[in-house]
Structure 1
Amino acid sequence: MNKLPKGVDQLPSGKYRVRKMINGRRQSLLFDAPPTQKDVLLATNELLNEVPGATLKGTFLDYAEKYIKAKENVLSASTIRGYRATLKGIPGHFTSLPLKDITQYTLTALVNDMVRSVSPKTVYNRHGLIVSVLHEFRPDFVIRTKLPRKAQKDIYTPGDEEVSILFAYLEDSPTLKKYWIPLYLASLGLRRSEIGALSIADLSEDDILTINKAKVLGSDNKWVIQNFTKTERSNRKIPLPKELADRIRQQGFIYQGDLNSIFCIMTAAQKKLGLPHFGVHRLRSYFASKAHALGLHDSIILKLGGWKSDHIMKGIYRKALQEDLHEESKTFLDHMTKQVVNKE
């Protein structure tokens, strides 16, 4: 019986086996006859071509486009538009790299380069898209990138006084009165995209407003109405005050026009009235904080506002409560200071 070459074993089945470490994994190569060194080399190269990532031929940009294309019918038009804008912002020296050659060091170097020119939020968005593409086409690639700390923005949430002043101003202006209804709906917890998609047909005879679609900008920068909202929980029915429902019926529509105009009108009105700046979405925050302050249960606030989870919702009204606490603390400390000064 001939002695087998070193590293070759004969199995009970009669096959001949060679064990090799290939890309960090122990693989078994099987042969019908005792293999030569050339046989082992050819089998090893063949197996290398079957390792995930080895057959990837295109650049990161090629696969990112493929990834976005595959999502077009399942994600909202605005999300796809955001993906394309994010992809466009990723530096060309990275997007031109072969996907199979991207390593953790490549990602770390990219993030280190981007933090010099863009905000932490932009870095997060770009890195998030990169990770999604890599997970799709290189699922075994474990990513552990250290990202910059996000900046905490101090976003102003309006109170009763600012909201009342704004609505009174719109009410008294013949040219701005058409913005009263959409902005009032925002103060009841509706998103701008939801308001823009509403029609008079969405209001029932018993004053129930059905929210089940959204108006968003597509990749071609044109407004489209999609037959779904931001999240599954955003589909909801809201009972409107009779006065508001009657006003909508009298007007004959909820809002007609470019959604960006609402923000522009609000900004101009706030400057004229000397109000702090807050956008349409801050009226939604006002709704959450006001509802909580009035004792409405969190589950009801969550349902009326269409939030996916109570984590974001609670963060909104906690922010408003902190602002109230700041004002109350300031008033108290001013009072204490006056007491001390008067005693002296």
Structure 2
Amino acid sequence: MQSFIRHRRLRANEAIRKMVREHQVQVSDLIYPIFVVEGEGIKEEIPSMPGVYHFSLDRLDEEIQEVVEWGIPSVIVFGVPHEKDECGSQADAEQGIVQKAIGRIKKNAPSLYVIADTCLCQYTSHGHCGIVEDGVIVNDRSLERLVSTAVSQAKAGADMIAPSNMMDGFVYAIRKGLDEAGFDHIPIMSYAVKYASSYYGPFRDAAHSTPQFGDRRTYQMDPANAREAMREAASDVAEGADILMVKPGLAYMDIVYRVKERFDLPVAVYNVSAEYSMVKAAAQNGWIDEKGVVMETMHAFKRAGADLVITYHAKDIARWLKEER
């Protein structure tokens, strides 16, 4: 009788490794974030995010064309307005930067699935994700602004709303608001489990959304907590979320796994800005194999249970997958 098992038989060459591979990364898994700014003729690289750009509307078309050519099925749109105020009035403006970007994308690439990030931080002068009263981020008044923003994005043509604010009751309020406005067909991808993370630094450069006082720990989750994540996700399921997101990704793979195991909804993970920038910086210094590290990370997300991955690496991944075919 054989005394040990020869596991290596199924690793002998690339053909058999692909045949028995348990998880696959596909272009259809990817959602690509895009940052849109006001002005003309703007395509400016974000210093802390190599290869990621701010686009004015007139330069947005070339980026969207490239996304479509690579077969990436979806984008999530973030806007950076010229004007900011205490209540983030540009967030739900009919001619707001995100609303105009959504309309332009849907006109020029109607098959591209457009997701609208629904938050206030890019639009408020204080940089917080809600309304501030006496130095406190108040919950229920913030919900009113978020509902109005979501409805305006749906009117502009968004295929999905992705609220990222972490106010209590935000999924319930937005679902109710969308339904009452005649958008009961528009799904919600909830930032269900969003941690108060240090991995967001480069994004705040990109979105010009650094808080002007304090931090976001009264509404985003404590990175030390896991059971609380299940309570947050359960609330969003009960309130009508269609997809649950975990953000960030790499340091929270255990949370992705728990969410996937417990809830019967698609799960998204956000491969956030610092995760991206650390890889890019190391690759530019010749310290790592960029493709190897990125693809290993994507397989890790899939292995943990993610159905969808929001990632700034999306175009590179699409290119690498095409080269392997």
Shorter-chain TM-score: which interval?
Answer: under 0.3
Q: Structure 1-normalised TM-score?
A: 0.22
Q: Which has the larger radius of gyration?
A: 1
Instruction: From the two aligned structures, give the one with the greater helix fraction.
Output: 1
Q: Structure 2-normalised TM-score?
A: 0.23
**Greater RCO between the two (CA within 8 Å, min separation 6)?**
2
